[in-house]
Structure 1
Amino acid sequence: MSINTDHGLPFLPGNTFRDVTKSAFHRAQTLGYRNGYALQQRPTVGIGQAALLSAQLTQNEMDELSKEIPALTYGAPRHGTSLDFIPAHVAFDKKVLRFYGHFRQDVLDSPVEEYRVRRVVVYYHLEDDSMCVTEPRVENSGLCQGTLLKRQRLPKNDRGEHYHWKDLNVAMDLPAYGVVYRLTHCDARTQEFMESEGLVLNDFEPTPVDPYITHRAQPHRSYVTPPDFDHFHQFLTMDRKVLRFFAMWDDTAALYGEARPVTIQYYLVDDTVEIREVHQANSGRDPFPVLLRRQRLPKEINPACEPFPSCVLEVSRQEVCEYYSPKDFQVGETVELLGRRLLLCDCDDFTKSYYQHSHPDMELKPKDLPREETDMRREIPPYNGFGSLEDSLQNCLTLIPEPPKKDLLKMLENDQKVLRYVARLDSQNPSDEGRRFIFSYFLSSDMVSIFERPVRNSGIIGGRFLEKTRIPKPGSTVDNPAFYSPDDFAIGATVEVFGHRFVLIDADHYVLRYLESVADRIPSQTLHSMRQRLGVHPDQGMVETTGQNG
Structure 2
Amino acid sequence: MDGLPFLPGNTFQDPTRSKYHRSQTLGYNNGYAQQKRPEVGIGGVPIAYNQLSEKELDELSNFNPTLTYGQTKQAPPEDFIPAHVAWDKKVLRYYAYFKQTVHESPNEFYRVRPVTIYYYLEDDSIAVVEPVRENSGIPQGKLIKRQRLPKNDVGDIWHWKDLNNRTTVTFYGKVFYITECDKFTSDFLESEGIVVNEPDQIPEDPYLATRTKAAEIKKYNTPSSFDKLKQFLELDRKVLRFYCVWDDRDAMFGEMRPFILHYYLVDDTMELREVHTPNDGRDPFPVLIGRHKVPKNRSQVPSTHPSISMELTNQEVKDYFTPRDFSLAETMYIYGRKFLIYDADNFTKAFYYKNFGLTEFKQVDVEQRKKPLPKMEFAPYNGLGTLEDSLQSCLSLIPQPPKKDFIKMMENDHKVLRFEAILDSVKPEDAGRKFIISYRLADDMITIYEPPVRNSGIIGGKFLERTRIAKPGSSPDKPVFYGPDDMHIGSVIEIFNHRFVIVNADEYVLAYMEQHPGQFSANTVATLRNTLGSNAPKDEPIKAASMRITRQSGDLQRLVNEVKGQVKKIGITGKHRIDELFLRYDSNRSGFIDKAKLCDMCKAISLPLDDDVMNALICEITSNPDGQISLEEFRQFFEAA
Task: Give the TM interval when normalised to the shorter protein.
Answer: 0.3 to 0.5
Which protein has the bigger helix share?
2
**TM-score for both structures, normalised by structure 1:** 0.45
**TM-score for both structures, normalised by structure 2:** 0.39
Structure index of larger Rg: 1
